[in-house]
A and B are shown apart, each in its own frame.
Chain A
């Protein structure tokens, strides 16, 4: 069930009521209840998915205990390798089987060898990219002795299947989330209120921003051959906000929902479009994924130690692998390559950690330099989003080519009457709201918070898109 649906609202109210009705001393019962409702939530998509998540849970639970109980390093490494193989194997099969088969066959076709294509009709289980990485982080942290494995299967299973973040993150670390399942949860009014506020803000990002942009983005990308330069640029611009509103909105709703139940999830977005360079962008965008790759791939490869060549190689690997995580399509890989190309110069000039503070900290407005930096970084991100959104490399190339050479900037070309100045104004308003609240996780703070809540609710009711529920983009990963 989608977060922006009546059924989820009813589900959440019921879960909240029953959960807090359980006396807090019965932590295991609370966890068991969460486990059951999480499986109900996940099974709502497709009950067959439950076998996979249960399998992944059982395998990693026992492997982690095995790692802990084995003194021999070789054996511990073997158990870890099995965990990696099982999780990556599951992910690889469901997500990438057809991609590899198709490319394998196509590659042989270029040298006139015809192979029989036996693609399978494989349904991609929702959230598999997220929970496999989450369980992997657990076994890796146990191996690295950063964490003792839990002997409480219910707690572990609930950690894996916890419904607020199960299908699209944040990808939680066991060191952060798992201990919370062992502790008593005390209902805290402020925490719960902040959870509600995050949910409202997340719904605004999703329903008003992302879903308003979506039809316009679809219209332009589906018919880009007949669009002019202005429309194509706006297509990329709107997609930038569609994916941000969608994903950040989902994450906020997930974090807010978890907070209602007394849990703290990690922040997943930190106003990425206010980044001054691409390195900062990647510290602010999908933080749970980028830190996962940093800690479990980049650093083991050597990170930024070693020769310049090693650093560049490691960065390239990370960007390509994380891009490939998004989907089995060459467009994602080239999206990652583009970001690597943008990132490498900053790395080589040792400027990748230059902007680690909040932009214009303590000031109302950015300097001209900061503004130009943000616009430039945003433009790079938008350019790369074309690859992310286009259905194929050929389409992406044609889109970019037409955008550059058409040079027609007439506004009459815009295909949908609603999405003219109106849409741009809504997005600019959104950016202004985010700018002036970039220190906080949502705008409902300060003296005028009730006015802001009222205004956002009004916009949710009058500007939100409710028809033809748009699915969260990241569900496909």
Chain B
């Protein structure tokens, strides 16, 4: 039995050592990818951002607000902290982690839309957090939504064993000099794709009007978000709520549905000193297909134009303050 147990121990040790080495190598490789979401998270956790202006939002925030362009207009360091496919809860979580390691901003640009106020049931894009799962704050955030990673602490590299593509990218990073495959600069991911109609996104709204749309699943999100904005405003942070342009094919169905929500934020902006609402839902940018890659996501061209517009509007607001 002794010889057998020693043999098994040797096998387990070999597997463990390999796993540990592979995990650390892949972590380092992924974090080293230039202009990647990994590098972005690494900068957040290393306290390297300290932006004066933060953009918060979901995928529309990430693809619609070009941090570099906004920065040029405002002459203030700007970073896009949006969470792809993450609604208000996840955005708050990322912001909370950001504040732990970076200085609080003086301005928050918050992208809002109908989808923003739904509950997040999971962390989409959690695979971009793989190199950081041993980081306490990231673990806690992930565990709030999914306890799958709780098994990973028992054996190294299990996270990559479930995501071989990422393991490969991590290794390849060393051989191609850290050349990334994303264009994620200052948190902004410009999409180069051209417009493709996303019927599935519009279908639900086609059947509803403002009388029949179910607002109940948004109510909690709206209320919590308003509370959050008020808290930040009390801390002296200026909150700029922005409703980005949507393409006319979608807008014809969502305009009436979004009216009650937009009115609430208009009222909020009128009531609160440091909260502003820039409603660009019906902006002319939304009439041109070339600005979008689907009915409510600006592509890189649209993001550049919209960011310039936002930059000019913000300049006026900031001058007036």
Contacts and interface: CB of A to CB of B under 8 A. Distances in A.
A28 B65 CA distance: 73
Contacts, number: 48
Interface residues of B, number: 22
Interface in A436-477: 453-454, 457-458, 460-467
A200 interface: yes
A192 B4 contact: yes
A190 to B, nearest CB: 8
B3 interface: yes
B3 A189 contact: yes
B164 A196 contact: no
B160 to A, nearest CB: 8
Given A187-B1, A193-B4, A460-B15, 18 more contacts: A20-B1, A187-B4, A189-B7, A193-B3, A196-B4, A196-B7, A196-B11, A418-B164, A454-B14, A454-B18, A457-B15, A457-B18, A461-B18, A461-B22, A462-B167, A463-B164, A464-B161, A467-B162
10 contacts: A189-B2, A189-B4, A193-B3, A193-B7, A418-B164, A461-B19, A461-B22, A465-B164, A466-B162, A467-B163
A466 B161 contact: yes
Interface string B135-179: 000000000000000010000011001111101100000000000
Interface in A253-280: none
B7 A461 contact: no
Interface of A: 6, 20, 187, 189, 192-193, 196, 200, 418, 453-454, 457-458, 460-467
Given A6-B151, A418-B164, A466-B162, A461 B15 contact: yes
A418 B161 CA distance: 15
Interface of B: 1-4, 7-8, 11, 14-15, 18-19, 22, 151, 157-158, 161-165, 167-168
B22 A200 contact: no
Contacts of B167: 462
Contacts of B4: 187, 189, 192-193, 196
A464 B8 CA distance: 20
A453 B18 CA distance: 12
B18 A458 contact: yes
A340 B14 CA distance: 47
Nearest to A458: B18
A35 B151 CA distance: 30
6 tightest CB-CB pairs across the interface, nearest first? Answer: A189-B3, A467-B162, A192-B4, A466-B161, A189-B4, A466-B162
Contacts of B168: 418
Dominant secondary structure of chain B at its interface with chain A? helix
A466 B148 CA distance: 13
Contacts of A453: 11, 14
Nearest to B1: A187
Nearest to B26: A462
A32 B280 CA distance: 74
B11 A200 contact: yes
Contacts of B151: 6
Contacts of A463: 164
Nearest to A195: B4
A453 B151 CA distance: 25
A460 B11 CA distance: 13
Contacts of B162: 466-467
A299 B218 CA distance: 72
A466 B157 CA distance: 12
Contact of A196 (B8, B18, B157): B8
B157 A461 contact: yes
A465 B1 CA distance: 32
Nearest to A187: B1
B25 to A, nearest CB: 11
Contacts of B3: 189, 193
B163 A418 contact: no
A457 B14 contact: yes
B6 to A, nearest CB: 9
Nearest to A417: B165
Contacts of B1: 20, 187, 189
A465 B8 CA distance: 23
Nearest to A463: B164
Nearest to A199: B11
B284 to A, nearest CB: 40
A65 to B, nearest CB: 38
A467 B161 CA distance: 8
Nearest to A200: B11
Contacts of A464: 161
Contacts of A458: 18
Contacts of A461: 15, 18-19, 22, 157, 161
Nearest to B154: A6
B165 A418 contact: yes
B166 to A, nearest CB: 11
Given A187-B1, A192-B4, A462 B22 contact: yes
A196 B3 CA distance: 13
Contact of A457 (B11, B161, B165): B11
Contacts of A466: 158, 161-162
A279 B224 CA distance: 72
Contacts of B19: 461
